[in-house]
Structure 1
Amino acid sequence: MIAQLVPVVLAFGANLGDRGETIAAAQAEILAAPGVLSLSASPLRETIALTLDGPDPDAPRYINGIALAETTLDPHALLDLLQRIESEHGRTRDVRWGDRTLDIDLILYGGRSIRDERLTVPHPRAHERDFVLAPWLDLDPHAALPGHGTVAALLERIGDSTTRLDDGGAR
């Protein structure tokens, strides 16, 4: 039996350490993983840190990006891969929405809707986050988030506070 190739959208963020290099390394590791056949990364964007209490101008700024990939991995195997890569790059989960060396979110997994104790796809807050929408729009001007509409319309609605950086991620 041939495994089905599924398009996925991944979001990357980091606000500790060498943020851009960490994201680029993680993207390269994902692309090199068995079951991942392609990965195209957006240009990176810098954003203010978002905490449980809201934007924090005193916290280290984030670098964020999006990647479109294709995989034969099932959603939970992909999540395991992403979490392993986060951990290998020093990610800890001590404080919810706290500072981090690397965060990788699974935004979309094909057209599937998944909701269990480990995973919710589409990502439940992607439609509210300019740091997800802006780099996604850079990569795919026709992108849509199921249940919410086009990425362009969503970003127009919430506004874009991100700053585009010159360098992109792994290709």
Structure 2
Amino acid sequence: MTAGRRPDPPLRPLAAPPAPRRREPVTAVVALGANLGDRAATLAAAVRELDRLPLTDRVVCSSAHESVAVTLDGPDAEAPAYLNAVALVTTRLAPSVLLGFLHAIEERHGRVRRERWGDRTLDLDLVAYGDVVSDDPRLTIPHPRAAERDFVLGPWLEVDPDAELPGAGRVDALLARLRGAAP
């Protein structure tokens, strides 16, 4: 430092950094299914685990509905029947984070991802996340086959009579079409 020159002032930010943005709660639709083991106990345990997720305020679940297993080729009456339900999860978790939690819950219940259409101790699908539409290969929402699945639409309609599947329409109309009735 030379004589007569002041030292440089310490560097300070021009403004305070922005506070982290708090995500608004969104209703996510989660389809639950199981066709191995004690299906009812597994679904009940999974719903309890959904209710304990961080940043999750509320979980409302339909009753359980039994359905025939579905494969790539269609219904498979030889496979063990599924027990299905739908949960509405009010959460502030990002969709990808929620999906990670769903996979962790499946794994805790013995789910092994070997074959795409195989029997399962537990299957949790993120069917919809508010009105978000995403075709990301890691997370496609709404679920690409939700509009074709009675075992998703029926339980969903039970817990939300005004439900809409983003990009496809009202759940009651989709279900009526599937069942061959006029919407």
TM-score (norm 1): 0.90
Stretches of 4+ moved more than 6 A in 1?
none
Displacement of 1:7? 1.1
**Between structures 1 and 2, the one with greater strand share:** 1
2:117 to 97, 110, 128: 97
1:142 to 155, 158, 162: 162
SS class of match (1:3): coil
The answer to whether 1:59 aligns with 2:84 is no
- Residues in 1 aligned to 2:31 and 2:91: alpha-carbon distance in whole angstroms: 15
SS class of match (1:65): strand
Displacement of 1:2? 2.7
Segments of structure 2 that go 5 or more residues without pairing to the other structure are 1-20
Deviation sequence 1:121-156 (CA, Å, 0-9, x none): 011100000000010111111111122111111111
Range that drifts further, 97-106 or 147-156: 147-156
TM-score (norm 2): 0.84
Percent identity, aligned pairs only, is 53
**1:13-162 alignment, distance < 5 Å:** 13-159=33-179
Q: Which amino acid aligns with 2:27?
A: P
Segments of structure 1 that go 5 or more residues without pairing to the other structure are 161-171
Displacement of 1:35? 1.4
Displacement of 1:3? 2.8
Kindly report the root-mean-square deviation, in angstroms, between the aligned alpha carbons of the 2 structures. Answer: 1.1
Q: Which has the larger radius of gyration?
A: 2
Q: Which amino acid aligns with 1:16?
A: L
Deviation sequence 1:40-74 (CA, Å, 0-9, x none): 00011000000112101111000000011111111
- Residues in 1 aligned to 2:65 and 2:162: alpha-carbon distance in whole angstroms: 19
More relative contact order in 1 or in 2 (CA 8 Å, sep 6+)?
1
